[in-house]
Amino acid sequence: MSFIDKIVSLINTVNRFEASVSSTKTTYLEIYEKNIQLEKEILERTNELEKANKTFVTLQNIWDMMNSDKPLSSVLTSIAEGLKGEFGYIHASILKLEIDKFENKQFLISRAISKSKFAQKLSQAFGINISFNKFQNKKDGYIDKALSNNEVVHTTQCVNFFSQILPSISLNTLESFLKTTNVESIIIVPILPNQEQKGILIVYSSRSEIKQNEINFLKLFAHQIEQAIVIAGLFEKVKKQAITDPLTELYNRRYFEESLYREIDRSRRQNQPFSIISIDLDYLKKINDKYGHQYGDLAISTISKVIKENARSVDIPSRFGGEEFNILLPQVDSVGAKLAAERIRVAIASEKINTIGQITASIGVVTFLENTDNPDELLELADQAMYKAKINGRNQVCVSKNKMHSNWQEIALKAFLDILASKKLPLPDALTKSLTDTLNKSLIEGKNTNETLYGVVDSIIQTYNYNHLNGETKQKVQTALHFAKFLELQKEEIDDLKIALLLYDIGNVMLPEEIFNKPKRLTYEEKLKMQKHPLIATKELLEPLGSKISEIMPIIENHHENWDGTGYPYKKSGKAIPITSQIILLVDAYYALINNRPYRNAYSKEEALKILKKDSNKKWDSKLVDKFLYMIENEQQ
């Protein structure tokens, strides 16, 4: 091969090598570029996955809060904070759509906002509190479009958005303000939990663009908000049902009593009085008898409407039972309470009801720390004042006199202490000591007197009556007192009845156990022994106590006398039997019928009332039975 051929061959080899290197370089460059693109896509996917993970973690935390006892405001605040914190939004807020009935305009109020510098700047720049400020909802504006079309609205026209919700602020001022922030776009997500409620979720972003996955995430959060509102609504509905009376939608007795004891604690701490207004509808029985129960309910509903219209937002108006209402007035003295009561009385008398016409109410007023500092006396004094208004002619207000004292509780406490000290009751020494300590403590402290008395009676009865239910004494006493007030007995008679109701069966403790708890019918001889218990109670246990209990003894002695003269121990009949004794016999029989006894099972309330009616004019006065049945049936309705 010549030299020239060798040179040509070498050049060709070099060219092939260069071509190979060039080809390889191009391949490597392509691979490098693809790797860079792949790394970028992996980073984007990683960021998206991380963002998605944060979303679902936040959603899980929100769901956990929704299933806890956290209030709706806490759940919504958690959502707003979660959006700002986890997704880098400048600010997030949740607003509810409201309607101004007077101006017929729609506006939005904040339900939750995230903590952010943007919120602080907005409040300072325009002198508003964004937590309470009303924002306008312009027709065909960004928010209206989101709600009307149920779609997510995204806009970079931030100045226009703010001019719609804050129309009183000039465009130049809004533009200057937004330049101090990093807000580039605003995203509006509709919240539509039901037809009655509407709202929006607003997020302020530092990015002008928005991706579909971001919209999907925001829709997820909006759905959680809707669920939270639905759950909170159901909770509030159940809570309202638990504390309100279904007919009147006033608070029920249980909620009133819970509120009362909270107010007593506050009153004592701050040494500030509060008052109670006790209201009783006049002549409800006549309304029911003449027009029917539906008109009685209408009269009750009318009074409840008047009470609601005249109550402050902090007052606790309640239906206490039947036609009785109580209103708790925090931080109101007797002067203010009397004015409020008179205003309610006039408003009730001014109401005209179709068919019935005018209705009226008797009203009593009592003030804690002015009339009494004893919680156990408080409701009783209110009841006494109302009852006095009824006796004095109805349709009037009676204010409890300063330091009115109802000492029947003290008499009852001391009576039990004397009986226990006499050692005449065959009770275990440990029980005697325990009951004595409990009574002394209540007497000294003046607290929970009624509950103490009920508990002592229940404890004594359970030593010989194994079928006696804990709390039965309280039920009997409350029913009997309600009946006595229904019959409009004098206050003195009712006070005597209260003591008699606690003591009337105490003679049973001294009867042989084999007689009292015998599962079969008693023999004639055993009945004679059983019939001695009223006299045992009065002669052996109460008579030695002296004059302070003397007026109670006839009630107890006669509480087993029948209307037709077949009772015991004196075979009295008709009006010779004290009405208070008849009340005890009737109420005692009613509770005996609706509770288990050694020789039979309990009757239903309906069956018990039929049995009572059957014995009219035999065991008890038929007129008295009719009134008792009416009261029980009316309470059930």
The dihedral through the CA atoms of 541, 547, 548, 551 has a sign that is: positive
The fold of the 253-399 domain, in CATH, is Alpha-Beta Plaits (3.30.70)
The dihedral through the CA atoms of 149, 150, 151, 153 has a sign that is: positive
Q: Is the pLDDT of residue 212 over 80?
A: yes
Q: Which helix (H) or strand (E) holds 328?
A: strand 324-329
Name the residue with higher pLDDT: 60 or 261.
261
pLDDT class of 405 with cuts at 50, 70, 90:
very low
Q: What residues does each domain of the chain span?
A: 72-237, 253-399, 419-636
Name the residue with higher pLDDT: 338 or 133.
338
The arrangement of secondary structure in 419-636, i.e. its CATH architecture, is Orthogonal Bundle (1.10)
List pLDDT tens digits, range 275-285: 999 999 999 88
Name the residue with higher pLDDT: 529 or 454.
454
Of residues 446, 461, 346, 466, the one with CA closest to residue 397? 346
Q: Where is average pLDDT lowest: 335-344, 363-372, 446-455?
A: 446-455
Amino acid at 574: G
Question: DSSP string covering 199-245, please?
Answer: EEEEEEES-S---HHHHHHHHHHHHHHHHHHHHHHHHHHHHHHHHB-
Q: 437 is written with which tokens?
A: 């300590």
Q: Is the pLDDT of residue 567 over 60?
A: yes
Q: Please work out, in degrees rounded to the nearest 5, the angle formed at the alpha carbon of residue 109 by the alpha carbons of 103 and 111.
A: 155
Q: Which residue has the tokens 């944060």?
A: 54
Q: What are the residues whose beta carbons fall under 8 Å from the beta carbon of 17, sequence distance 6 or more?
A: none
Q: Please work out, in degrees rounded to the nearest 5, the angle formed at the alpha carbon of residue 430 by the alpha carbons of 425 and 436.
A: 65
Name the residue with higher pLDDT: 239 or 628.
628
Q: Which residues, in sequence order, are bridge partners of residue 110?
A: 95
Q: What's the order of all strands across the beta sheet hosting 316-321?
A: 316-321, 324-329, 274-281, 361-368, 397-399
pLDDT reported for residue 256: 94
d(CA 619, CA 117): 82
Instruction: Average the pLDDT over 284-300 and give the result.
Output: 91
List pLDDT tens digits, range 459-468: 887 776 666 6
Most confident of 5-14, 119-128, 201-210, 399-408: 201-210
d(CA 530, CA 560): 11
Q: CB of 106 within 8 A of CB of 98? A: yes
Q: Which CATH number is associated with domain 72-237? A: 3.30.450.40
Name the residue with higher pLDDT: 400 or 51.
400
Neighbours of 635 (CB within 10 A): 11
The answer to whether the pTM exceeds 0.85 is no
Q: Is the pLDDT of residue 270 over 60?
A: yes
Question: DSSP string covering 419-486, please?
Answer: HHHHT-S---HHHHHHHHHHHHHHHHH--SHHHHHHHHHHHHHTTT-TTPPTTHHHHHHHHHHHHHHH
Q: Please work out, in degrees rounded to the nearest 5, the angle formed at the alpha carbon of residue 216 by the alpha carbons of 212 and 218.
A: 115
Neighbours of 111 (CB within 10 A): 19
pLDDT reported for residue 17: 61
pLDDT reported for residue 477: 87
d(CA 394, CA 381): 17
List pLDDT tens digits, range 164-190: 999 989 999 999 999 999 899 999 999
Q: Is the pLDDT of residue 347 over 90?
A: yes
List pLDDT tens digits, range 79-130: 777 776 666 788 888 888 887 765 677 888 888 888 888 888 888 888 887 7
CA end-to-end span of the chain: 128
